[in-house]
Chain A
Amino acid sequence: EAQVTQNPRYLITVTGKKLTVTCSQNMNHEYMSWYRQDPGLGLRQIYYSMNVEVTDKGDVPEGYKVSRKEKRNFPLILESPSPNQTSLYFCASSLHYNSPLHFGNGTRLTVT
Protein backbone atom coordinates (compact mmCIF):
# COMPACT_ATOMS: atom_id res chain seq x y z
CA GLU A 1 0.00 0.00 0.00
CA ALA A 2 1.30 3.44 -0.99
CA GLN A 3 1.76 5.48 2.12
CA VAL A 4 3.71 7.92 4.23
CA THR A 5 4.62 6.42 7.60
CA GLN A 6 5.50 8.50 10.61
CA ASN A 7 6.72 7.20 13.93
CA PRO A 8 5.96 7.51 16.70
CA ARG A 9 2.29 8.60 16.69
CA TYR A 10 2.53 9.97 20.20
CA LEU A 11 5.59 11.10 22.12
CA ILE A 12 5.97 12.68 25.52
CA THR A 13 9.44 13.84 26.45
CA VAL A 14 11.29 16.28 28.66
CA THR A 15 13.04 19.51 27.83
CA GLY A 16 16.48 19.01 26.33
CA LYS A 17 16.28 15.31 25.53
CA LYS A 18 17.13 14.79 21.87
CA LEU A 19 14.53 13.03 19.79
CA THR A 20 13.92 11.96 16.21
CA VAL A 21 10.60 11.59 14.44
CA THR A 22 10.92 9.29 11.47
CA CYS A 23 9.15 9.66 8.14
CA SER A 24 9.27 7.15 5.33
CA GLN A 25 7.43 6.93 2.02
CA ASN A 26 7.24 3.99 -0.37
CA MET A 27 6.10 5.88 -3.48
CA ASN A 28 9.51 6.96 -4.80
CA HIS A 29 8.53 10.58 -4.24
CA GLU A 30 11.13 13.27 -4.78
CA TYR A 31 9.59 15.97 -2.61
CA MET A 32 9.14 15.63 1.16
CA SER A 33 8.19 18.14 3.80
CA TRP A 34 7.56 18.57 7.51
CA TYR A 35 4.79 20.69 9.03
CA ARG A 36 3.68 21.55 12.48
CA GLN A 37 0.11 22.43 13.32
CA ASP A 38 -0.98 24.39 16.35
CA PRO A 39 -4.53 25.51 17.23
CA GLY A 40 -5.49 28.58 15.24
CA LEU A 41 -2.20 28.69 13.30
CA GLY A 42 -2.81 26.25 10.48
CA LEU A 43 -0.06 24.18 8.89
CA ARG A 44 3.36 25.77 9.13
CA GLN A 45 6.24 24.35 7.15
CA ILE A 46 9.39 23.46 9.06
CA TYR A 47 11.71 22.07 6.36
CA TYR A 48 11.31 20.60 2.95
CA SER A 49 13.40 18.59 0.52
CA MET A 50 13.25 18.64 -3.25
CA ASN A 51 15.38 15.49 -3.53
CA VAL A 52 18.20 13.53 -1.89
CA GLU A 53 20.69 15.84 -0.20
CA VAL A 54 18.61 18.91 -1.12
CA THR A 55 16.82 20.53 1.82
CA ASP A 56 15.66 24.04 2.63
CA LYS A 57 14.11 25.90 5.51
CA GLY A 58 10.41 26.51 5.68
CA ASP A 59 8.66 29.12 7.77
CA VAL A 60 9.55 27.83 11.24
CA PRO A 61 12.90 25.96 11.09
CA GLU A 62 14.36 27.14 14.42
CA GLY A 63 15.06 24.25 16.80
CA TYR A 64 14.74 21.56 14.12
CA LYS A 65 17.09 19.66 11.86
CA VAL A 66 16.43 17.33 8.95
CA SER A 67 18.42 15.10 6.67
CA ARG A 68 17.65 13.45 3.34
CA LYS A 69 20.28 10.79 2.77
CA GLU A 70 17.90 8.45 0.97
CA LYS A 71 14.91 9.26 -1.16
CA ARG A 72 12.43 7.38 1.02
CA ASN A 73 13.38 8.79 4.46
CA PHE A 74 13.17 12.30 5.85
CA PRO A 75 13.65 12.30 9.63
CA LEU A 76 12.93 15.34 11.80
CA ILE A 77 15.43 15.88 14.60
CA LEU A 78 14.93 17.99 17.71
CA GLU A 79 18.36 18.32 19.29
CA SER A 80 17.13 20.04 22.44
CA PRO A 81 13.34 20.08 22.57
CA SER A 82 11.56 22.86 24.42
CA PRO A 83 7.92 23.14 25.56
CA ASN A 84 7.12 25.54 22.68
CA GLN A 85 7.73 22.63 20.31
CA THR A 86 4.74 20.82 21.72
CA SER A 87 2.60 20.38 18.63
CA LEU A 88 1.07 18.05 16.06
CA TYR A 89 3.60 17.23 13.35
CA PHE A 90 2.91 16.00 9.84
CA CYS A 91 5.25 14.62 7.23
CA ALA A 92 4.16 14.74 3.59
CA SER A 93 5.54 13.70 0.23
CA SER A 94 4.83 14.35 -3.42
CA LEU A 95 6.03 12.83 -6.68
CA HIS A 96 6.94 16.30 -7.91
CA TYR A 97 5.75 19.82 -7.37
CA ASN A 98 2.65 19.55 -9.51
CA SER A 99 1.48 16.39 -7.81
CA PRO A 100 -0.65 16.34 -4.65
CA LEU A 101 0.91 15.97 -1.24
CA HIS A 102 0.35 12.71 0.62
CA PHE A 103 0.35 13.08 4.38
CA GLY A 104 1.41 10.78 7.15
CA ASN A 105 -0.89 10.16 10.11
CA GLY A 106 0.82 12.70 12.31
CA THR A 107 2.93 12.71 15.46
CA ARG A 108 1.61 14.38 18.57
CA LEU A 109 4.60 15.62 20.55
CA THR A 110 4.45 16.89 24.10
CA VAL A 111 7.56 18.44 25.67
CA THR A 112 7.37 19.01 29.43
Chain B
Amino acid sequence: QKEVEQNSGPLSVPEGAIASLNCTYSDRGSQSFFWYRQYSGKSPELIMFIYSNGDKEDGRFTAQLNKASQYVSLLIRDSQPSDSATYLCAVNILDNYGQNFVFGPGTRLSVLP
Protein backbone atom coordinates (compact mmCIF):
# COMPACT_ATOMS: atom_id res chain seq x y z
CA GLN B 1 0.00 0.00 0.00
CA LYS B 2 1.56 3.25 -1.15
CA GLU B 3 1.21 5.85 1.59
CA VAL B 4 1.52 9.55 2.11
CA GLU B 5 1.60 10.77 5.69
CA GLN B 6 1.10 14.16 7.24
CA ASN B 7 0.56 15.43 10.77
CA SER B 8 -3.15 16.09 11.06
CA GLY B 9 -2.66 19.09 13.30
CA PRO B 10 -4.06 21.48 14.05
CA LEU B 11 -0.89 23.46 13.67
CA SER B 12 -1.29 26.89 15.22
CA VAL B 13 1.07 29.76 14.45
CA PRO B 14 0.83 33.48 15.21
CA GLU B 15 0.28 35.92 12.39
CA GLY B 16 3.56 36.85 10.71
CA ALA B 17 5.34 33.64 11.73
CA ILE B 18 6.63 30.85 9.50
CA ALA B 19 4.39 27.80 9.22
CA SER B 20 6.15 24.53 8.41
CA LEU B 21 4.15 21.62 7.02
CA ASN B 22 5.67 18.20 6.48
CA CYS B 23 4.83 15.18 4.37
CA THR B 24 6.49 11.77 4.01
CA TYR B 25 5.84 9.20 1.31
CA SER B 26 6.57 5.51 0.94
CA ASP B 27 7.10 5.02 -2.83
CA ARG B 28 10.74 5.67 -3.73
CA GLY B 29 9.78 5.86 -7.40
CA SER B 30 7.60 8.94 -6.90
CA GLN B 31 8.59 11.74 -9.21
CA SER B 32 6.21 14.62 -8.69
CA PHE B 33 4.92 16.24 -5.53
CA PHE B 34 2.14 18.72 -5.00
CA TRP B 35 0.79 20.92 -2.24
CA TYR B 36 -2.87 21.89 -2.22
CA ARG B 37 -4.77 24.24 0.07
CA GLN B 38 -8.37 23.47 0.91
CA TYR B 39 -10.84 25.66 2.72
CA SER B 40 -13.72 23.91 4.44
CA GLY B 41 -16.33 22.70 1.95
CA LYS B 42 -14.33 23.96 -1.03
CA SER B 43 -12.27 22.15 -3.62
CA PRO B 44 -8.49 21.82 -3.22
CA GLU B 45 -6.46 24.47 -4.99
CA LEU B 46 -2.88 23.99 -6.13
CA ILE B 47 -0.25 26.00 -4.27
CA MET B 48 2.98 24.50 -5.51
CA PHE B 49 4.51 21.52 -7.23
CA ILE B 50 8.09 20.29 -7.12
CA TYR B 51 9.94 17.62 -9.07
CA SER B 52 13.62 18.00 -8.12
CA ASN B 53 15.51 17.83 -4.86
CA GLY B 54 16.00 21.16 -3.17
CA ASP B 55 13.90 24.24 -2.66
CA LYS B 56 11.37 25.93 -4.88
CA GLU B 57 10.05 29.36 -3.94
CA ASP B 58 6.89 31.14 -5.06
CA GLY B 59 6.06 34.31 -3.17
CA ARG B 60 5.55 33.49 0.50
CA PHE B 61 5.62 29.74 -0.19
CA THR B 62 8.65 27.45 -0.38
CA ALA B 63 8.46 23.77 -1.18
CA GLN B 64 11.38 21.57 -0.15
CA LEU B 65 12.01 18.08 -1.49
CA ASN B 66 14.43 15.45 -0.21
CA LYS B 67 14.00 12.24 -2.20
CA ALA B 68 16.66 10.34 -0.23
CA SER B 69 14.71 10.90 2.98
CA GLN B 70 11.35 10.67 1.19
CA TYR B 71 9.93 13.85 2.54
CA VAL B 72 8.53 17.04 1.13
CA SER B 73 7.70 20.15 3.10
CA LEU B 74 5.93 23.44 2.62
CA LEU B 75 7.01 26.64 4.35
CA ILE B 76 4.66 29.60 4.54
CA ARG B 77 6.41 32.83 5.46
CA ASP B 78 4.64 35.81 7.01
CA SER B 79 1.59 33.67 7.73
CA GLN B 80 -1.76 35.43 7.46
CA PRO B 81 -5.14 34.51 8.97
CA SER B 82 -6.31 33.85 5.40
CA ASP B 83 -3.77 31.01 5.24
CA SER B 84 -5.86 29.12 7.79
CA ALA B 85 -6.93 26.01 5.90
CA THR B 86 -6.14 22.35 5.45
CA TYR B 87 -3.00 21.64 3.42
CA LEU B 88 -2.89 18.47 1.38
CA CYS B 89 0.26 16.79 0.17
CA ALA B 90 -0.10 14.73 -3.02
CA VAL B 91 2.42 12.37 -4.57
CA ASN B 92 2.41 10.49 -7.85
CA ILE B 93 3.00 6.75 -7.54
CA LEU B 94 3.27 3.80 -9.91
CA ASP B 95 0.00 1.89 -10.03
CA ASN B 96 -1.69 -0.86 -12.11
CA TYR B 97 -2.15 1.18 -15.26
CA GLY B 98 0.70 3.59 -14.83
CA GLN B 99 0.90 6.56 -12.57
CA ASN B 100 -1.68 7.67 -10.03
CA PHE B 101 -1.98 10.35 -7.39
CA VAL B 102 -2.09 9.64 -3.67
CA PHE B 103 -3.09 12.25 -1.12
CA GLY B 104 -2.08 12.58 2.48
CA PRO B 105 -4.76 13.15 5.13
CA GLY B 106 -3.98 16.86 5.30
CA THR B 107 -2.67 19.18 8.00
CA ARG B 108 -5.02 21.78 9.41
CA LEU B 109 -3.27 25.13 9.85
CA SER B 110 -4.62 27.88 12.07
CA VAL B 111 -3.00 31.33 11.90
CA LEU B 112 -3.86 33.34 14.96
CA PRO B 113 -4.28 37.15 14.60
Contacts and interface: CB of A to CB of B under 8 A. Distances in A.
A50 interface: yes
Interface string B56-78: 00000000000000000000000
Given A45-B101, A56-B95, A97-B92, 5 more contacts: A42-B106, A94-B101, A103-B45, A106-B42, A108-B41
Interface of B: 31-32, 34, 36, 41-46, 49, 51, 88, 90, 92, 95-106
A94 B32 CA distance: 13
A56 B100 CA distance: 10
A106 B32 CA distance: 24
A42 B41 contact: no
Contact of B105 (A42, A98, A108): A42
Contact of B96 (A31, A56, A90, A104): A56
A37 B42 CA distance: 11
A25 B91 CA distance: 22
Interface in A78-100: 88, 90, 94, 96-100
B43 A97 contact: no
A33 B101 contact: yes
A106 B43 contact: yes
Contacts, number: 65
Given A97-B32, A100-B34, A50 B97 contact: yes
Contact of B32 (A31, A90, A98): A98
A54 B97 CA distance: 8
A23 to B, nearest CB: 12
Given A98-B32, A98-B92, A101-B34, A42 B51 contact: no
